[in-house]
Amino acid sequence: MKKCVFLDRDGVLNEDRTDYVYRIEDFIIPTGVVEGLRLLKNAGYLLIVVTNQAGIARGLYSRDDVMRCHQYLQEQCGNLLDDIYYCPHHPDFDTQSLLRKPDSLMLEKAIAKYNIDVSRSWLIGDALRDIQAGKRVGVRTVHITHDIPKPPVGDQQAANLLEASRMVVELATAS
């Protein structure tokens, strides 16, 4: 079985915005993201993105827009990502979907497809819904945040992906 790090997109792999990120010119990859991904990949982790993209259901952008951003992300990070799952639904605009985090169907599909060992896997996300989806499938979680909530949301907290990646690799080698 394989170990995996599931990654939220907006706020983890790229800068989040108050509106939606669906154009390459707005897709800003923070310093340290590529280094963090490389660190995880070199440690033997599959890297799988799981992202809600409700702007599709809202009619603000298309699936093609999302795929262009994902292709750009792959190009910028040297094709380190093994797969990208996204949920185009929103219950207020089209349909209720178990793909949409905090539900966990995107993760469950990847776990089945890639034969992932959840006991050695992680989810890194910046929102409570990300952490909840990870906990639903039994992976450990890292909450990307600058303000540590009381009580903490994830199993671990980090300021950015690079710090989270270092933490995951260090904890894996310690156990």
Please tell me the distance from the alpha carbon of residue 97 to that of residue 101, in angstroms, as a whole number: 9
**Residue 138, phi-psi category: left (phi > 0), alpha (psi -120 to 50), beta (remainder):** left
Are 24 and 70 in contact by the 8 Å Cβ rule? The answer is no
Please tell me the distance from the alpha carbon of residue 137 to that of residue 165, in angstroms, as a whole number: 20
Please tell me the distance from the alpha carbon of residue 97 to that of residue 77, in angstroms, as a whole number: 30
Strand (E) or helix (H) holding 87: strand 83-87
Q: Which residues contact 76 (CB under 8 A, 6 or more apart)?
A: 29, 34
Catalytic residue flag (residue 64):
no
Among the listed residues 8, 65, 103, 126, the single catalytic one is 8
Catalytic residue flag (residue 26):
no
Among the listed residues 10, 103, 126, 130, the single catalytic one is 10
Active site residues: 8, 10
